[in-house]
Amino acid sequence: MNQDIRLALGLAVTVLGMALVARRALFLYRLVTDGAPAPGRASDVKEALKAELADVFGQRKLLKRPGPGLAHFFTFWGFIVLTLTIIEAYGDLFSKTFAITSWAGLGFIEDFFAVAVMVALATFSIIRIKNSPARNDRKSRFYGSHTRAAWYTLAMIFGVIATLLLYRGAQVDTGDFPYGKSWWPFASRLIGGAFSGLSKGANLDLETAFILAQIVILWGFFVFVLNSKHLHIFVSEPNVLFSRRPKALGPLGTTPDMDPENMTEETVFGTGQVSHLTWKQRLDLISCTECGRCQDQCPAWATGKPLSPKLVIMDLREHLFASAGELLAKKAAASGGPAGDAAGGGVGVATKPLVPDVIAPDVLWSCTTCGACVEQCPVDIEHVDTIVDMRRYQVLIEAEFPTEANLMLRNVENRGDPWGLGSSQRLAWTEDLGFDVPVVSGTIPDDVEYLFWVGCAGALDERARRTTQAVARLLHQAGISFAVLGPKESCTGDPARRLGNEYLFQTQAQTNIETLKAAGVRKIVASCPHCFNSIAREYPALGGNFEVYHHTQLLEKLLSAGTLKPINRVEQKVTYHDPCYLGRHNEVYDEPRGVLGHVPGVKVEEMHRCRNKGFCCGAGGSRMWLEENIGTRINVNRTDEALATGADVISTACPYCLIMLDDATKARQAEGTVPESVRVMDVAQLLEQSVSAQTPS
């Protein structure tokens, strides 16, 4: 083909492709930036760049699953490296002798990545066939994903790479190949060998045909991706850059201003309509790769509930696109500008209530806020924040939430604890300790190092009290001075906050902060991970800054320093259950295991789902106070896994987990399937057996 004709064809396709891409990109940009403000994003530039390097360029999260991780790694880097071959293809349109360099090393790198991407595509195909939802139903992580679009995407990437190798192969025989007779560009050479029987003219025609085919497929791919569910290829990079750091767990993403003085008619708490979603939440929605890693780890989904974090994101995304026309038209009308490409949607779509019209109430209230979805998501989507934002709207604006939560909220508000037992019971656990625990009245004495934050469960639940007593006895034995607030301690507000009652949380938090400040408290040891998370990670946003330790952190420190000396052998097989609010939310994985490691005789057997893949006990997200009527019970699922290790003791470090696992163990014991001797204990209780001269019952 004449050089001018092929140049004209190549450029015509490019201009058309660029116009379609620019139009769509502008539409997406407008749709995302039309979202509500999301303050503080990428404010820590260093951390944001570190995350971008690790999670995007290093593919850190994806590489945790080596098979698909490596396939994705090579595809991602293949896209970057093979941009050079696209430049070479365009250069060839202008000049047959165009070359970035004649250094054969570049030819090798390009060929290596081309082959690596081909291998990756084969790997993706096998994974998709093996995980086909039609075969495996809910158990497939691709259940509910747009699998057909994924196949089209794989086919187009295959087309881009195949045409690149083919045009280079033809170039070998036309003499236009930049790397002379070197065999470093091995794949191109092999293909060139296959074409070597053809005439030079035929190879020239093949070179032109494959270059033009590559340009057509490439721009077709860009346009398809921007209009499909595979947008993540282009938007996951900014999504990771603007995600919460160090990760979107621990404290919730926002602490709304609940001051009545600052409220207006327009004040909205939480997310009730698509227009309430922040720009970051909208970016989250269009960044989802539909990989299903979140769904695969979700305890609600695993136990037959209707909640899948992936489907929540996908449903919200569908609704965002369906509302786009209205949202952008409204914005254009407000600014007097053009509406642009307002694709999708009819009138009244954007004002639909998200719950129940887009997200069913049973989906919303099934979440335990365990954070497994956030932890797994390769593009750093912040599911928990979005779910709690929708809960906030339901509770604070609509007053629509499961009726059984009413009692818990009323108890926290009126009695200072979810059970409604009141402050008079807060010191009952100290009665048979054998030593006095100082109760702070006025300010904490100078010679007292720690304020022991006991927590509602630790003070009021019979089983959790045993942990509280064990911690107190261990600290006492180690010579650590501590005091408690006793009746002045009140619920941190965590259950109210996770349920969506931000107002009650802030009321509780402010009262507690005032109490702690008035008592001159600086250092706190908490035995409940939920209290630990609230005081250490959430109270700072409300002016409460304290140095907070979980009891396992302090005990491990005392053991390492030799201040606590385990003596007695505890000949037990123990499995450790990671509490979500200690592990995933606060990354305290090693210290509880460190405590167990110090106890002579203890043989630790890890469960398959442990550490950052730990499976929730079912109590978080205020689920402790809600009925669990759908599917199977989460605590039973987790306990069965623990029992399958053959452990004599299921250990944990959270009163909620302790209660949930103990309930499930007792249920199994009542069925006669589990020996009566199996016990659920906090790691502090196990340690106490080894440290104390007598074994507490």
Nearest-CA neighbor of 384 among 368, 401, 400, 397?
368
To the nearest whole angstrom, how small is the minimum distance from the Cβ of residue 425 to ligand SF4?
31
Q: Which CB atom, from 218 or from 311, has the smaller least distance to ligand SF4?
A: 311
Rounded CA gap, 559 and 131, in Å? 46
Question: In this complex, which beta carbon is closest to ligand SF4, that of residue 35 or of residue 378?
Answer: 378
Residues in Cβ contact with 291 at an 8 Å cutoff, skipping those fewer than 6 apart: 141, 145, 310, 378
Q: Before 418, cis peptide (omega within 30)?
A: no
| Cβ-based nearer residue to ligand SF4, 114 or 616 | 616
CA atoms within 13 A on the CB side of 101: 9
Please report how close the Cβ of residue 664 comes to ligand SF4 at its closest, in angstroms.
Answer: 17
User: DSSP per residue over 669-683, as a string?
Assistant: HHHTSS-TT-EEEEH
| Residue 616 C-beta: closest distance to ligand SF4, Å | 6
Closest C-alpha among 151, 74, 564 to residue 159: 151
Distance CA 569, CA 47 (A): 45
Comparing CB distances to ligand SF4, the nearer of 381 and 456 is: 381
Edge-first strand listing for the sheet containing 573-576: 603-604, 573-576, 649-652, 679-682
Give min distance, CB of 292 to ligand SF4, in A. 5
> Smaller CB distance to ligand SF4: residue 550 or 584?
584
Shortest Cβ 117–ligand SF4 spacing (Å)? 21
Smallest separation (angstroms) from ligand SF4 to the CB of 105: 36
Closest to 391 measured CA to CA, from 587, 286, 256, 250: 256
Q: Which CB, 117 or 291, lies closer to ligand SF4?
A: 291
DSSP one-letter string for 606-625: --SS-GGGPPP-S-TTTGGG
List of residues contacting ligand SF4 (CB under 6 A): 288-294, 297-300, 307, 309-310, 313, 367-373, 376-379, 381, 383-384
Chain position carrying tokens 């420190």: 557
Give the separation between CA 48 and CA 94, rounded to whole angstroms.
40
Q: Provide, rounded to whole angstroms, the least separation between the CB of residue 671 and ligand SF4.
A: 26
- What minimum distance in Å lies between the beta carbon of 627 and ligand SF4? 16
Which of 610, 600, 621 lies closest to 652, judged by CA?
Answer: 610
Q: How far is the CB of 631 from ligand SF4 (least distance, A)?
A: 12
**Bridge partners, residue 679, by sequence:** 649
**What is the distance between the alpha carbons of residues 232 and 288, in angstroms, rounded to a whole number?**
6
Minimal distance in Å, beta carbon 226 to ligand SF4?
A: 17
Of 300 and 448, CB closest to ligand SF4: 300
Q: Of the candidates 457, 371, 442, which has an alpha carbon nearest to the alpha carbon of residue 412? A: 457
* Separation of alpha carbons 102 and 179, rounded Å: 5
Closer Cβ to ligand SF4, 375 or 648, answer by number: 375
In the bound state with ligand SF4, the residue whose beta carbon lies nearer, of 366 and 665, is 366
Strand order through the sheet with 547-550:
482-483, 450-453, 523-526, 547-550
Closer to ligand SF4 at the Cβ: 243 or 506? Answer: 243
Contacts of 449 (CB under 8 A, 6+ apart): 480, 481, 482, 523
Nearer to ligand SF4, 6 or 584 (CB): 584
Based on CB atoms, which residue is closest to ligand SF4, 214 or 303? 303
Q: Would you state the structure tokens that stand for residue 391, as one six-digit string? A: 């809960």
300 near 307, Cβ under 8 Å? Answer: yes
Would you state the structure tokens that stand for residue 150, as one six-digit string?
């994924």
Minimum CB distance to ligand SF4, residue 533 (Å) = 14
* Cis peptide, bond prior to residue 356, ω within 30 of zero: yes
State the minimum distance, in angstroms, from the CB of residue 621 to ligand SF4: 7
Strand partners, 36: 278
